[in-house]
Structure 1
Amino acid sequence: MRILILGGTGFVGRAVADLAVARGDTVTVFNRGRRSPVGGVHVLTGDRTAPGGLDALRTGEWDAVVDTWSADGQVVGAAAGLLRGRAGHFSYMSSRSVYRFDDDDHQPGLDETSPLVSVEDPDYAGHKLRGEHGAQTFDGPVLLARAGLILGPHEDVGRLPWWLHRLRRGGPTLAPGPHDLPLQYIDARDLAAFLLHAAATGLQGPVNTVSRSGHTTMGEFLTVATEVTGGRAQLRWTDPATILAAGIEPWIQLPVWLPPGPLHNMLHCGDVSRAHAAGLRCRPITETIADTWAWLPDQPPQRTDRPTLGLDPHREAHVLAQ
């Protein structure tokens, strides 16, 4: 296939480029040129937020386009419109954040028909929903890949990297419970495989692209990560109420973790039957963690448009002491 990746050097885009090149596809990446590309790709340079920034895409034809843009959704529409008639399929990397969250009533099983946030939402969810709307200006099949938690090598958000560095440091370690809390996520490489498969089969519409709920648990996640990083950490399983009472912020200060309740139901208990029926396959958490640790540099890349993650060691020690 002839693949155009809008992005292609970061986390998910890089995984798509890696896999497509390995498969023998002809791969073009379009980005600002701030990071080194995958070997074997053709590079087009431009800033899609600037006037004339898409000029490098005014010629050329592709079988499939993958757009990983995560900021202002208006630029997605500009690219999709420009590529009308010159590509066969368009995949937009969206997010399950586009679903409307109601803290009073959010049960497990959220699917692609669930209510969405307002298109006027000024935050990340609104950007993603506006990106979905923009992608619809493409005149062929459009896949809206609504991912959730994404892990794996080259992660630049910092969730799994933070845990790996923390566990490598060792000693008594705050482990947020319960131990059997189900997690729902996807390895970026499995997401890449699904996006390329979707392009080849013409899959379209919104699809929740994460593992089944309980593909791993908080207990397995931290136990495997402890073993992979050398077994130095002593996990101290702590009740969610104790963690919340200490003012520790889930997801940010303890990445990946959300206490049982409506938000956990939304992020870790969604209905993914459509994606799995369409061919999504997810590797074991052991492989994701081991490969991320093998890749992980001393100072992993950190996106500047996302909050800094992790729990202060002194605060962690204070909670454990109590």
Structure 2
Amino acid sequence: MKILITGGTTFVSRFTAEYFVAKGHDVVVLNRGSREQVDGVTHLQCDRLYLGDKLKGAYFDLVLDITAYTQEHIQALLTSGVSFCDYVFISSSAVYPETNPQPFIEEQECGRNSVWGDYGMNKLNAERYLQVHISNAYILRPPYFYGMYDNLYREAFPFDCAMQDRPFYLPQNGDMKLQFFHVADLCRFIEILLEKHPDNHVFNVGNKDIVTIKEWVELCYKAVGKTAEFVSVGKDIPQRDYFCFYDYEYVLDVSKQTELMADTFPLEQGLKEEFEWYRDNPDSIYNRKPYMEFIDKELVKK
């Protein structure tokens, strides 16, 4: 296939570009050229909001839109003169209001989520614009992505704590739930969509198995070869001052995904692989939060 991937240089889009290049496809990446490009891709250097004639007359078997965060991002691409067979948009589970009953299902009413704010609404408006103009596009709503090339300070935080033999400061009793999706599973599921072309065009994607934040930290420490020791932090301390997830739990119903792809990457194995990559690429995090500094100043007993 000839595939257009928006982005292609960081985390999800970088992994995806490498994945489809390794499968032998002709991959074109659209980005501003501010970072190193993946080997084997054709680079189209441009801001997606100012495409001009860059894509006019071009044809792709698949447009894999990973970096659309607003309706304007979708609109600019669809009005660029490009043509294609399939379009897959990576949206977000942030389109579900936190007041909806859980687990969230695809048929629920979408709207503002007070935790995610404009990010979720912008993704939702992008979905709606795409559905109006490309009725057969596929929309995927993931929870938290993880895996190689992760440039967010999430798994890297407990990895750092484990490597420094620090105890882990855990919100309350650690029973808040998390749901993940490995970037390799995203690529596998996209391949299944293209092979089967199911009638359903909106999918929650993610692991069936849910973990608590305590279980997740334990797996992160285990990936480093360490055992976590915990210190409980009371609810009066803002969670985001010392921990890498908001005080918000949600679960996606992924039964529609599971009908097409029964298995997903084991979380323990995925975290081990992510740690091995992070250990060799510690500068990959683009915004390292000062959690440890807050802990040492405000939470460690003097």
TM-score (normalizing by structure 1): 0.82
Matched letter for residue 206 of structure 1: V
Q: Where in structure 2 are the equivalents of 1:15-94 lying within 5 Å?
A: 15-50=15-50, 53-82=51-80, 86-94=83-91
Q: Contact conserved, 1:58 with 1:82, CA < 8 A, in 2? A: yes
Question: 1:271 aligns to what?
Answer: 253
Matched letter for residue 31 of structure 1: N
Deviation at 1:184, TM superposition (A): 0.9
Alignment coverage as a number of residue pairs? 297
SS in 1 for 2:88: strand
Q: Distance in 1 between matches of 2:80 and 2:273?
A: 38
Structure 1 residues 193, 81: CA separation in 2 closer, same or farther (over 3 Å shift)?
farther
Q: Where in structure 2 are the equivalents of 1:156-175 lying within 5 Å?
A: 156-175=151-170
Matched letter for residue 168 of structure 1: M
TM-score (normalizing by structure 2): 0.87
Deviation readout 1:66-105 (Å, 9 max, x if unpaired): 0012433212122134366x21110111001011222xxx
Structure 1 residues 108, 81: CA separation in 2 closer, same or farther (over 3 Å shift)?
same
1:97 to 2:79 alignment: no
Question: 1:236 aligns to what?
Answer: 230
Question: 2:269 aligns to what?
Answer: 287
SS in 2 for 1:186: strand
Deviation at 1:49, TM superposition (A): 2.0
Q: Contact conserved, 2:217 with 2:228, CA < 8 A, in 1? A: no
- Root-mean-square deviation over aligned CA pairs: 2.7
Q: Contact conserved, 1:81 with 1:138, CA < 8 A, in 2? A: no
Structure 1 residues 54, 212: CA separation in 2 closer, same or farther (over 3 Å shift)?
farther
Deviation readout 1:217-239 (Å, 9 max, x if unpaired): 433322222122242x642152x
SS in 2 for 1:89: strand
1:315 to 2:295 alignment: yes
Q: Distance in 2 between matches of 1:83 and 1:191?
A: 28
SS in 2 for 1:171: coil
Question: 2:286 aligns to what?
Answer: 302
Deviation at 1:143, TM superposition (A): 0.8
SS in 2 for 1:156: coil
SS in 2 for 1:9: coil
Q: Distance in 1 between matches of 2:111 and 2:170?
A: 32
Q: Distance in 2 between matches of 1:149 and 1:31?
A: 23
Question: 1:207 aligns to what?
Answer: 203
Structure 1: runs of 5+ lacking an equivalent? none
Q: Contact conserved, 1:12 with 1:189, CA < 8 A, in 2? A: no
